[in-house]
Structure 1
Amino acid sequence: MTAKDAAARPVVEVRPVVEMTGITVDIDGTTVLHGVDLRLFPGEIHALMGGNGAGKSSLVKALSGAYRIGGGSVRISGEPVVLSGPAEAESVGVAAAFQDVDLCGNLSIAENVMIGHEERRWYGISWPATRRRAVTVLDELGLGDLDPKQAVATLPPAIQQLVAIARAMVTHPKVLVLDEPTSSLDADEVATLFRALRRLRDQGVAILFVSHFLEQVYAISDRITVLRDGYGQGEYPTRELDRAVLISKMIGKDLTELRRIGSDRRAHRADPTGTPVFRAVGVGKRGEFDSTDFEVHRGEVVGLGGLRGSGRSELGQLLAGVERADSGTFQIDGRTVGLPNPATALRRRVAYASEDRRDGGIIEELSVRENIVLALQAIRGWARPISHAERDALVDRFVESFGIVAPGLDAPAKQLSGGNQQKVLLARWLATRPLLLVLDEPTRGIDIAAKVEIQARVAEMARDGMAVVFISSELDEVVRLSDRIAILKDRRKIGEVSNGPGLSVDTIIEMIAADEEDDA
């Protein structure tokens, strides 16, 4: 179904299954929701949109019973309820599946779907009956062909996400809450998920869909509620809300900021001269990336442009010593150096920000302060601890300049939104004052407001003289920010282009397609 098809679907005015009125939520003394309203109707997919720190996750957790509601009222099917915990939310028909799929990889599909709801007999759990029940639930989602005995760890991400949804649907809830369910899925996997969501919608389930992908929201949703800075900005039928108006409501300003970033980058651009701050000569790794030459000058942003599987991350990891090259040499300011591992690279002021914010970047249990100073402390060594005064001054400076929103600087980083976690990671690497910063998907999984801020920060870093390698699956970002773009395909570099008025995303796609014709 296209965005036009979704927009054409009539919005039927019936009694809401969920009415949240004047909802207020406080976390550690900070008010994160200020009198927010939300209505969910049966048989509708309702998108919840908002910028960085808007309160989307807080509202979702309030509805699912994970956060205590400090003020306001909640009605489910017209009856007042108190959502004092997840069990109470489930008992009134509210189920949730969150962004980080919390499945047990070593258990089977059936065991994961039915966990906590196994079919029991006088002798204990009846596994044949449990599997039959799991198959029934899976079949309702169009997944009846899955083997219920198959281990979840062997499934692709999209199917794991659907298994998590199936687990939420075991109790036949009235409401299904999905928090960023597509953040790690490719286009085909998203299509698989959307087919299942439409089946649930057509069965009368009310679905709350939280996402930062505008095109997906317009393709799947019937209604949109917008939040900004913890305040409601209104509820709208999707077909009546223009994209530009939605974005302006989310970030409190129009799209001129993104256009300004691109214009500033083009105005800043100059052909590099002199010795590159970083050069790779014949660098590669068997089975990972073909040997290639690559260089970056001070104040230059070099983008890596390519489609999925082109080797963007593989090249970035080789440049930063995350993966050890088995051919070629590296030079920093004209001097040959070795980069056998990330620690050595960091000491040589080459930093790498991983695309995997959860497993390769943020340390969720450490505080915001500790996350920001982590890399700098590692460079100095634990025998030379950073003083409290230096730490606090450095952290305060980055928190202010990055606009990091947190319950408190000593709060665990897991309490931050995705956009704020990404800002903390950028602050961590900038604290080391790198000569070269490799940014791998720095805007993936965050909302458009945070994207604007991070892209502006990248442009500022280049203006201040830092060399940046920018990796993104969104080619428009690469074109907007880069001075030069290395074009990748099949884990090799097929060419380079300088940025300018005539360069577009289509230019990069055409270069990749032309290379395919040459190969043929």
Structure 2
Amino acid sequence: MSDSNPLFSLRGVSKSFPGVKALDQVQLDLYPGQVTALIGENGAGKSTLVKTMTGIYQPDAGELRFRGEAICLDTPDAARQLGITAIHQETVLFDELSVTENIFAGHYLTKGRFKQLDWDAMHARAGQILQDIEAPVDPQTRLKYLSIGQRHMVAIARALSFDAQVVILDEPTAALSHHEIEELYAIVRRLKQAGCAIMFISHKFDEIFAIADRYTVFRDGCYVGDGRIDEIDEAGLVTLMVGRTVEQVYPKASAEIGDTVLQVKQLSHPTEFDDISFELRQGEILGFYGLVGAGRTELMQALFGVSKGVQGRVEVGQQRVDIRSPADAIKAGIVYVPEERQAQGTVQEMSIFQNISLPQLSQINRSGWLNEEAEYALADTYASRLQVKAPDWREKVGNLSGGNQQKVVIGKWLATQPRVIILDEPTKGIDIGSKAAVHAFMSELVQEGLAVIMVSSELPEVMGMADRIIIMHEGQAVSEVARHEFSAERIVSAASGG
């Protein structure tokens, strides 16, 4: 097959839900031996498309074709039978089962007239798949003993156990280290060599340009363009995605740097970090950069009172504070927007207004009775200010896009009127439009006199937004760089132990 003969294609596909047209006459072509990047902001229709391709949703209109023939994917099993499989950012696996059991769950191999489970065959097949993707994992090991990267390899092996022809990689690198991402790229290259057609979904342009052969862009549920990746640049993709030229990806605005707000002296944890000292000034964005495992998140959690066994001295406004719990941190004026917003930053089943008012229930409801009117008014102030997109502040947070969920978490903490706000991977997993909104709002915060600590694994982001960067390596602060001295080579070298 060549570029003129896609392995899998969609034409004129539409899908509607009550009040929402998720897909409107979209088209897509996936070619054998090639990676096609599906690009679009949150809400562009990417998730609906994946569910349509894997038989979870059935289109209201349009046609799906496989090897040139029209197909009907009325169930997920129908998609699997054709070799169409998806590897999601958070694939559901089972900790107490073995690697083999996870790979073959739901489609076990059997033998004999009584359909007995053929464990020898399954262990052998699992071992072969893991060997093919060069994953050093024992098939009989329980999943709970594996690292995050190894679990991801098991998820990939599970997808490949269906004799995959079309492989959908949905934000596959979100939880992986740099080394594990390189291993994933190697697997993708082997899948290409085997003739698989691959769809790659990512918000990270460096990944898209590193691995993709082609691109397709969706915007607001519509197809807006496609082509070869070597015939377009990042600016061109951004224009297609958002419908306008984004002149400045990182809108760093000038802010007056004031007095020292936070001083951290010789902060240590028995296992996570050691002898960390720094200061943060009013109107400043202080960046923390390091590779996975450097101890950045653990340090921030210690400042917010989550970690136990922390030694050292913390001062806010020249006054020493003893932070033993998040309540102590909030009282001192320090708040923390966590990396894992769904698990740690929000209560997904509660409404927007309930999430935003949550840290201040005792202040709002002094009589002991819930005052929903006051809670709603508080949420309206901050959700409106952050331009949270929702039909009503009573909407469940779990129904919002990733970018809007992040805005709710930020709004929750801004409502406490803090002095220091810690943003841990503030744009993780959100689209470029929402990223730009978060970056612009960070600039507004420091212009209003707040002090911001930003932890980021994206070097362009931390260099674009920070006034200073502290670089961590294996639990230690190994270097500090002022904005006028920023150098990607210098920062990466320090983060790598160089």
Q: TM-score higher than 0.5 here? A: yes
Q: Secondary structure at the match of 1:102?
A: coil
In the TM superposition, residue 201 of structure 1 has moved relative to its aligned partner by 2.1
In the TM superposition, residue 210 of structure 1 has moved relative to its aligned partner by 0.7
The one of 285, 288, 294 equivalent to 1:304 is 288
Which residue of structure 2 lines up, in the alignment, with residue 268 of structure 1?
A: 255
| One-letter identity of the residue aligned with 2:488 | V
Q: Deviations along 1:377-432, whole A, 9 cap, x unmatched? A: 37767974653333333434444433434576555434433333322222222222
Which residue of structure 2 lines up, in the alignment, with residue 41 of structure 1?
A: 31
Alignment of 1:31-180 (within 5 A): 31-121=21-111, 122=114, 124-143=116-135, 146-180=137-171
Which residue of structure 2 lines up, in the alignment, with residue 323 of structure 1?
A: 307
Distance 1:120 1:451 in 2: 49
Q: Deviations along 1:214-270, whole A, 9 cap, x unmatched? A: 1221222221101122222211111212222112212333342325x13x2xx3243
CA separation of 1:53 and 1:231: change in aligned 2, threshold 3 A: same
Distance 1:409 1:92 in 2: 43
**TM-score (structure 2 length as normaliser):** 0.90
CA separation of 1:64 and 1:367: change in aligned 2, threshold 3 A: farther
The one of 433, 457, 468 equivalent to 1:484 is 468
Unaligned stretches of 5+ in structure 2? none
Distance 2:4 2:397 in 1: 41
In the TM superposition, residue 439 of structure 1 has moved relative to its aligned partner by 1.0
Distance 1:82 1:369 in 2: 42
In the TM superposition, residue 318 of structure 1 has moved relative to its aligned partner by 2.1
Which residue of structure 2 lines up, in the alignment, with residue 213 of structure 1?
A: 204
- Alignment of 1:15 with 2:5, yes or no, is yes
Distance 1:76 1:465 in 2: 57
The one of 424, 428, 442 equivalent to 2:408 is 424
In the TM superposition, residue 345 of structure 1 has moved relative to its aligned partner by 1.4
- The count of aligned residue pairs is 496
The one of 430, 435, 455 equivalent to 1:451 is 435
Unaligned stretches of 5+ in structure 1? 1-10
CA separation of 1:219 and 1:336: change in aligned 2, threshold 3 A: closer
Q: Percent identity?
A: 34
Q: Deviations along 1:17-50, whole A, 9 cap, x unmatched? A: 3222222233442222222211222222211011
The one of 163, 176, 196 equivalent to 2:187 is 196
- Once structures 1 and 2 are overlaid, which stretch shifts more, 203-212 or 365-374? 365-374
| One-letter identity of the residue aligned with 2:43 | G
Query: Runs in 1 of length 4+ with deviation above 6 angstroms?
Result: 510-513
In the TM superposition, residue 148 of structure 1 has moved relative to its aligned partner by 1.3
| One-letter identity of the residue aligned with 1:252 | G
| One-letter identity of the residue aligned with 2:454 | F
Distance 2:348 2:262 in 1: 32
Distance 1:149 1:444 in 2: 34
Are 1:377 and 1:385, in contact at CA under 8 Å, matched by a contact in 2?
A: no
**TM-score (structure 1 length as normaliser):** 0.86
Which residue of structure 2 lines up, in the alignment, with residue 8 of structure 1?
A: none
Distance 1:202 1:511 in 2: 36
Distance 2:222 2:164 in 1: 28
Are 2:23 and 2:45, in contact at CA under 8 Å, matched by a contact in 1?
A: yes
Distance 2:222 2:156 in 1: 29
Which residue of structure 2 lines up, in the alignment, with residue 7 of structure 1?
A: none
Distance 1:467 1:290 in 2: 24
CA separation of 1:358 and 1:40: change in aligned 2, threshold 3 A: same
- Once structures 1 and 2 are overlaid, which stretch shifts more, 22-31 or 407-416? 407-416
In the TM superposition, residue 354 of structure 1 has moved relative to its aligned partner by 1.3
CA separation of 1:56 and 1:98: change in aligned 2, threshold 3 A: same
CA separation of 1:282 and 1:102: change in aligned 2, threshold 3 A: same
